[in-house]
Chain A
Amino acid sequence: MISDRLKANLKREFDRSLMAKLGLAIAIVILLLATFAPILATHNPTTTGQFDEHGNSYPPWGVTHETHTWEDGDDGRERISYTAEPSPDHYLGTNNIGQDVFSRLLYGARTSLLVGLIGTGLAAAVGVPFGLISGYYGGRIDDSMMRIADVMLAFPSLVLAIALIGVFGRSEQFIPDPIVMAGFADGMPEYAVLPGTVTLVVALVNWVWFARVARGEAMSVRSEEYVKAARSLGANNRTILVKHVLPNSLTPIIVLATIQVAAIILLESALSYLGFSGTTLSWGYEIQQGQDYLATAWWIATVPGIGIVLAVISINLLGDWLRDSLDPNIGGEGGV
């Protein structure tokens, strides 16, 4: 599947394109930061302020920076926020409940990447077979399958995702963190959190794009000589689909998968911004928390947003690189 010619194309495009190099570099850095978050984090990302006998919270790390008080609009009770500005203690400051923003940035990257990669994998696992079957058999099967896809496309993905979460409810799965388990990062959370429903929902919302692309490829491949040859040699449809149609359809599916990781990261952040995610260790959730503190602590909402933008830009750049090198028809110059 990865032929020598393809490798040569990938390399040529990579050497030629500054953007491809930049995209790969950012992506690798983010991947490393996310993987080794327990070691690199300076504080436990979930540790908040603690409470004294009066019920007031105080910061866990002796934050001495400016504290802000204000009248809460709802109950008129005065609350104290122990938001700390960026400092050597807290590289990127703390949020409104005293959690370290830098550490939460690293852990948020984990959530985004986990949902992005697993969600894309699930979407492809559903969409690709669906599209291949639809395009390969054609006719009435294709018609009815594509009507289902049309219905899916009539829902804006965010709207459908919200409705599905309304049905399934929020959930989170706990995955033991091997780095902490092995004793390399004491005091860090022992489990990585995967927002299960969100992962499932982004796949349910986005599989249809894979179906469309796979269908188009299957349609163009099915009348090729080698498929006819395989058929006349007595190969059954399943064998032809798996051994011939799928491998020859992979190129655009890989390009789509790359772009989908970015799309799903954006969707996940939007869902957690709206409060529909299962976990609070998420960039979108952090931005929502920070929105109330824009006037006093701009960094809470700003920092995780930069994380999202960098992650999505790097993936989009990788997608451009893949497309330019895998698809000689589109070419590098005028392609969108």
Chain B
Amino acid sequence: MSYAKFLVKRILQGVFVVWGVVTVTFALRAAAPGDPVNLIVDPGASPELREQIRREVGLDQPLYVQYLEYLQGLVVGDLGFSYQSRRDVSIMIAERLPATLELAIAATIVAVVIAIPLGVVSATRRHEPADYGATLFSLVGISTPNFWLGIMLILVLSVQIGLFPVSGRPVSFTDAVVSLVTTGYAHDLVTWLRHIALPAITLGTYFTALITRLTRSGMLDELGKPYVTATEAKGLPGVLIRYKHVLRNTMIPIVTVLGLQLGTLIGGAVITEAVFNWPGLGSRLISAIYAVDWPLIQGIIIVIGVGFVCINILVDSIYAYLNPRVTDE
């Protein structure tokens, strides 16, 4: 199979999955108990008003018509209106998306920057204290619920020492950068960094632990291979061998696993946002669930599903590009 054909097939699969996600969330909404009109008007409203609203929102239509209309709207980016705030769902999502992306990217950076050197050291100094330390850290890291870790960080670093603020996001990353460029003062950027530090560590720790484990085991597998002995025999310095050759070969399985774990990252972001009152998609999803605001719930889940599918397609196509044997299957 050619690479282009592989890509087309993979994208078609992705479109199917997105359709599946849309359909499942629509079914969940249809199955949810209670009359949505009650969520839009107050319970004392007259029957006439209720009927009028039912008609305006389209809830009087048969379910399949509502479904087709929803699909139709979705194609042009119209996710409907929130029952609670009567605002455009797509706008409500767009205004919260940057905060979640900031958090997810910061957490990934934290994870990669700490985990890869840790994994390399752990693999090259096997059965030394550094290795035991890294192994213990990764065991605890994958076993700790991140919301509790976040609360413990708040307890020690915010409440006791006062090093970081307890919660919130007073300034966005883009505004902070704009302020740095226009005024020359880094004050906003520092504020942003101080606020994102604890959430990023909270969300990133599980991945730090996971990548440390993967790097260690991948490096151990690679270090045993003949080409390492050959390069050592040629007299290449150990550091160069480890970071340039061995680590590069270890990266492929790491990237694959990370693609699969993306759902964990998003789920983790939801709860991290709840802990730190971080104004992202996750905290909006949770308040939407409390308010039984189905158009908003549906919209957020679809956006998450689309993001997940896109990144997985990206990971798969990079993987197939690096490793042409994949497209043969």
Q: Which residues in A have some Cβ–Cβ distance to B below 8 Å?
A: 147-148, 150-151, 153-160, 162-167, 169, 262, 266, 269-270, 273-274, 276, 284, 287, 290-291, 294-295, 298, 301-302, 305, 308-309, 312-313, 316-317, 333-336
Contacts and interface: CB of A to CB of B under 8 A. Distances in A.
Given A150-B20, A269-B145, A294 B154 contact: yes
B289 interface: yes
B152 interface: yes
Report the interface size class on chain B: 35 or more
Interface-central residue, A160, A276, A284, A308, by most chain B CB under 10 Å = A160
A269 B151 CA distance: 14
B89 interface: no
A287 B148 contact: yes
Given A150-B13, A163-B289, A167-B31, A156 B148 contact: no
27 contacts: A150-B13, A151-B24, A154-B309, A155-B304, A156-B267, A156-B270, A156-B308, A158-B271, A159-B301, A162-B270, A162-B286, A163-B28, A165-B289, A166-B289, A266-B145, A269-B147, A269-B148, A301-B152, A305-B148, A305-B152, A308-B145, A312-B144, A313-B139, A316-B143, A334-B217, A336-B213, A336-B214
A281 B158 CA distance: 28
B292 interface: yes
A262 B213 CA distance: 18
Contacts of A302: 152, 155
Interface of B: 13, 16-18, 20-21, 24-25, 28, 31-33, 139-140, 142-145, 147-148, 151-152, 154-155, 159, 213-214, 217, 220-221, 263-264, 266-268, 270-271, 274-275, 285-286, 289, 292, 297, 301, 304-305, 308-309
Interface-central residue, B18, B25, B151, by most chain A CB under 10 Å = B151
Contacts of A270: 145, 147, 267, 271
B21 A151 contact: yes
Main DSSP-derived SS at the B contact region: helix
B20 A305 contact: no
A298 B160 CA distance: 10
B151 A333 contact: no
B214 to A, nearest CB: 6
B142 A316 contact: yes
Contacts of B263: 153-157
A308 B263 CA distance: 22
Given A273-B274, A317-B139, 16 more contacts: A147-B13, A154-B17, A157-B267, A159-B267, A160-B301, A162-B285, A162-B289, A163-B25, A163-B301, A262-B143, A305-B148, A309-B143, A312-B143, A316-B143, A336-B214, A336-B217
A7 to B, nearest CB: 26
B267 A154 contact: no
Nearest to A165: B289
Contact of B32 (A158, A167, A305): A167
A291 B151 contact: yes
Contacts of B145: 266, 269-270, 273, 284, 305, 308-309, 312
Contacts of A335: 217
B155 A301 contact: yes
Contact of B308 (A154, A295, A305): A154
Contacts of A158: 267-268, 270-271
A284 B274 CA distance: 13
Contacts of A276: 289
B251 to A, nearest CB: 15
